[in-house]
A and B are shown apart, each in its own frame.
Chain A
Amino acid sequence: MSRDAELVVIGAGIAGRFAALAAAEAGISVRLLSDSEDGARFDTGLLELLGRTNSTAVVDPFDAFGHLDDRHPYRIAGLESVRNALRFAERVLGDRYRGFGEDRNALVISQQGALVPVFAYPRSVASGLASDSGTVHLVDLSFLPDVDARVAAASIRRYDPHFEVTTNRIGNDPPKAVPSDRLGLAARLDEEIDDSPSGREVLPWLVDRIGAEDPRGDRIGLPAFLGRERTDAVLAHLESRLGIPVFEIPTAPPSLTGIRLDDRLDQAIRESSVEATTATPVVDYRTAGDRIEAVGVERAHTREWIAGERFVLATGGLLGGGITEREGEIVESVFDCPVEPPAERGEWTAADPYDTQPFATFGVDVDDEFRPRAGGEPCFTNLWATGRVIGGFDPIAQRAGFGTSLVTGHAVGRRIGTGGRHV
């Protein structure tokens, strides 16, 4: 048989991949099982650690930990563990990300003109922080209709009436055969940046149209489409031609900032000793007493049993499928660990779709090691939970999705990898 893995991670989203990477770095054998590919493509790619508590924007996330419930993942992990996770993320993400050294949140301008408190952010977003001074000039493209600079600007001014923002729209006479979607544009810019100047079409057109407008403020913001792999070079080119800093605005899917994050995490997994497979959903499990012995993977109509010493549940919340509805009950979909939603179904949602939603808190209850528990005792002695499958807090209202997945994934992976010595 292929050897038992020392650790089997179920789910390859943010939490799953960080858990696998942390455990592999500590030196144990890791098997990473995922249902589908590309787990972070929905993401904005912004490292939101803790953005809001009690509906107030957070400036210093570490200070704000005191406002969190004592069963919140950050409180369970502890401040030192959170810092270790952030240092790890900084290493994995390399110089693609900024903000780690600042030790406080920065405000990033979102597609809708919200000012999002984030701890770290992609380099391409760095010149556009609303927390930095300087006027902003937002440019949208008429053939990318989901980003509207005027809507974003109006929204920013509602948050902060003193914020100086101007807008412009380009795109009336684009080059022939210009791709009309962000991914296509990004691919084209990746190609053009390495072409000789005579071979380029879209880049000079962008420079010309953006540069033609006045005022241009202190910095120019564009929806994120500036290359998928050559973003730094494309950005540098635009900045040198326009003579002022340029930044990207993270968008809804297709989100280039999320896709680049996904690409980087996949690369990190490939470069590690983790054995990762996709199209391997876990549909069953076998136990020996209070330990999980093996999980059953469904692989194109055949069932394979993957044995391991320890298991990490990183299957996600309601969106990822780790928490799901079955016959009218909310359940944890792989091991049936208890999820205790309010008894009345009407209490699962708030009437206004934009209100804080109770279902965002659905998930498993965990002990101090992040093992899911039933009635106060761990469901299994060798099963840990990470990421959105953990309940009891609202990652959306707190703007803490990436952070809670990163911190719990890293803490659990490192603990298991070092035999419990480190988190």
Chain B
Amino acid sequence: MSERPWSMDLSGETDACIACSTCDTVCPVAAVDDEFPGPKFQGPEQWRLGNDEAPIDPSIDACSNCLRCVAACPEDVPLGEMHATARAERREERSPFSRKTIRDRLLANYGLLARFASRVPRVSNALASAAPVRWLAERLLGITAEREAPTFASQTFREWWDERGGSAVSNAEKRVAYFHGDHANVHDPGVGRALVQVYEYFDYEVVIPEQRCSGTPMFANGFMEDARRVAGFNLDRLRPLVAEGYAIVATCTSCSYALRSEYPDHFDVPGVDRVAAQTFDALEYLRRNEPLEAALAESGIDAGTVAYHAPCHARNQGLGGQTPAIFAGVDGIEVSDVGDSCSGMSGTYGWKEERYETSMAVGREMFDGIEATDATVGLTECPTCAMGMEHGTDVEVDHPLRVVRDALLDQ
């Protein structure tokens, strides 16, 4: 494979593959798309059988980057890295001006678009929901009109934070830096506010570093240079904070996965390992360092049965059982895990017009799991999983952190 800053010689790692096909059996895309050869082909087979001249098979475009193959492989074959490298190679082979490339670049750089759109939320919301605009987006760009666009909040999280005047707690011993991600900032600042309230309840000093998109949609679409650019920006801001004793916490499990797993796997940037070692999911960190479950068990909440869907990127961080365990001892809430399924969204994937049917077919197992719980409320840490859950079922989806805040602060 050619020399790129992100490519690695993975031919040695393919030796670990015993061709057991377990990855193929858990791939949600292979399960619904008979044309898709599956992760065993995308990864070890292409590496073993390919050479520098052979083009990457176009089927990699159908891979959603859910990373379930990574979770299932019994031999630790680096499938995620292989697929990411294949996508990047394929990107090199395509024209930068093709409709799909422009569309993918737009979706991958959504953070940039959102930053401007969030300054004029009412106009942006009106445009995003206008039928002609959605029709044009589908015809011109290939962004599906089937899904409702997320709405822009009237005030971003960062604007709220500035207006508030920053942290209400000063504590040299307990300090966290919040990586909020683009979604929480412009679409769902309530999650960010909940994080601040819960952490301040436990007497933490919270800082909000300057940040860009975590890069997840760029990894997923093969724009490795864009990913390296944002990773560099974020690491420059996070590295000094880690050196001063801050832990990095995130409310979106794709953000935490990017920072603690994809950055060190793909980029050789100074400090990347140290930042990765100090990055946590927001509830994971609290659980480790505070008597969170004890505090919750003493409070109560009126939530009834809720259907919890563990995002694939959360399961890959070993956080699959976390949310049900956190609420196990709390009165008034019964968390029902909908099972190991994929929402089908995988970030930008479910928004692509040619992938919409596949994403809905993939998500069907999750929709059935949700319906089987009879819940009217869903819970998940990933914003695009939430979009998928709301689009495919009747539940309204919330973030576990808000439920924790409601329980602790009696709101």
Contact = CB atoms under 8 A, between A and B. Distances in A.
Interface of A: 1-3, 35-38, 41-42, 177, 179-181, 183-184, 187, 253-254, 259, 266-267, 270, 273, 275-280, 297, 299-304, 319-321
Q: Considering the complex of A and B, which 7 residue pairs feature the smallest CB-CB distances, nearest first?
A: A280-B318, A301-B276, A299-B318, A279-B318, A300-B261, A275-B325, A300-B260
A36 B72 contact: yes
Contacts, number: 108
B24 interface: yes
B256 to A, nearest CB: 8
Interface of B is mostly: helix
Given A179-B34, A300-B257, A301-B264, A270 B25 contact: no
Interface of B: 20-22, 24-26, 30-32, 34, 68, 71-74, 257, 260-261, 264, 273, 276-280, 287-294, 315-322, 324-325, 328, 337, 339-340
A111 B356 CA distance: 38
A253 B21 contact: yes
A409 to B, nearest CB: 19
B23 to A, nearest CB: 10
B34 A37 contact: no
B292 A2 contact: yes
A279 B316 contact: yes
Main secondary structure of the interface of A (DSSP, over half): loop
B293 A3 contact: yes
Contacts of A320: 74
B72 A37 contact: yes
Contact of A177 (B31, B34, B260): B34
Nearest to A34: B318
Contact of A302 (B22, B26, B71, B279): B279
Contacts of B324: 275
A38 B276 contact: no
Contacts of B68: 37
Given A278-B315, A279-B316, A302 B278 contact: yes
Contact of B22 (A1, A41, A179, A275): A41
Contacts of A36: 71-74
A1 B288 contact: yes
A301 B257 CA distance: 10
A253 B318 contact: no
A37 B257 contact: no
Contact of A38 (B26, B287, B288, B339): B26
Contacts of B317: 279, 299-300
Given A273-B328, A302-B276, A41 B25 contact: yes
B25 A183 contact: yes
Given A300-B276, A320-B74, A180 B22 contact: no
Given A277-B318, A277-B322, A301-B260, A42 B328 contact: no
